[in-house]
Structure 1
Amino acid sequence: MARQRFPASVYDNGDEPDARFSLANERTFLAWIRTSLALLAAGIALEVLGLDLHDAFRIAASVVLMVTGIAAAPLAWWGWVRYERALRLYSPLPASLFALPVTLAVSVSGILVVLGFLFR
């Protein structure tokens, strides 16, 4: 009897791709999980370190970083599923879901920190 692999929505489709591609997809997933953890840590650190910044800007930057970190984890999973399914079906890889939102969030939080420094 064959063992069922999780998630079935991925592994029940198409053919088994070259292991190198699946492992590269997994490494990308893990990189996004690390990015998620780093964003959460940065948001917490910004608040806990008590930097001499305007409170409203510091809190806003912290929240932007933490919310982005929280959102990045499920996006990483969804991305892994989409890419793995495309590999199995010999389809073109879908566009990234992460690059623009993370870029915008980091830029906005950086701007908020600069404003917090200027208006302290």
Structure 2
Amino acid sequence: MSDEKDPRVLFAAERTLLAWNRTSIALIAFGFVIERSGMLIRLLSSEPTEKSAHLVTVIIGLMFILIGAGVAVFSSRQYARLLASLKPSDFPDGYAARWGIAVNLGVAVLGLLLAAALFVSH
């Protein structure tokens, strides 16, 4: 980069972080839906279902939730590494570039809490 103020790299990285944030939220939400689908199938079924069939949806749902939380942590780490490589002139004056990391880590913590709550409830 030149010595001129050019925040395009920063903003491109932030857009990428936000895309990963949406991906992690979608994975967590999808995992929750899968986890709860076993309960729905059991409630709608006219015949008693096996406990193992419900356990499979719980495990797969929890795995999606944990993957979503992992994606949020990993993408935050990658973004933080990129921020460390930028020069001060790449940041607009007064711009708080680390809020994206805080939001992503918050999503990761909430995803882990959701996974723990669902695990304990079964």
Q: TM-score range by the shorter chain?
A: 0.5 to 0.7
Q: For residue 78 of structure 1, report the CA deviation from its aligned partner.
A: 1.2
* Alignment gaps of 5+ in structure 2: 42-51, 89-122
Q: Distance in 1 between matches of 2:4 and 2:70?
A: 30
Higher Cα Rg, which structure: 2
**Which of residues 18, 21, 37 in structure 2 aligns to 1:30?**
18
Which is worse superposed, 49-58 or 23-32?
49-58
Q: Over the residues paired in the alignment, what is the CA RMSD in angstroms?
A: 2.6
Q: Deviations over 1:4-59 (max 9, x none)?
A: xxxxxxxxxxx787311100000011011111100100000012233659223212
Moved over 4 A (4+): none
Does the CA-based 8 Å contact 1:40-1:66 persist in structure 2? Answer: yes
Name the counterpart of 1:44. 32
Name the counterpart of 2:59. 60
Q: Distance in 1 between matches of 2:74 and 2:57?
A: 26
* Alignment gaps of 5+ in structure 1: 1-14, 90-120
- Structure 1 residues 57 and 49: CA distance shift in structure 2, 3 A: closer
Residue identity (%): 33
Count of aligned residue pairs for this structure pair = 75
Q: For residue 85 of structure 1, report the CA deviation from its aligned partner.
A: 1.9
For normalisation by structure 1, the TM-score amounts to: 0.53
Of Structure 1 and Structure 2, the greater helix share is in 2
Equivalent residue letter for 1:36? S
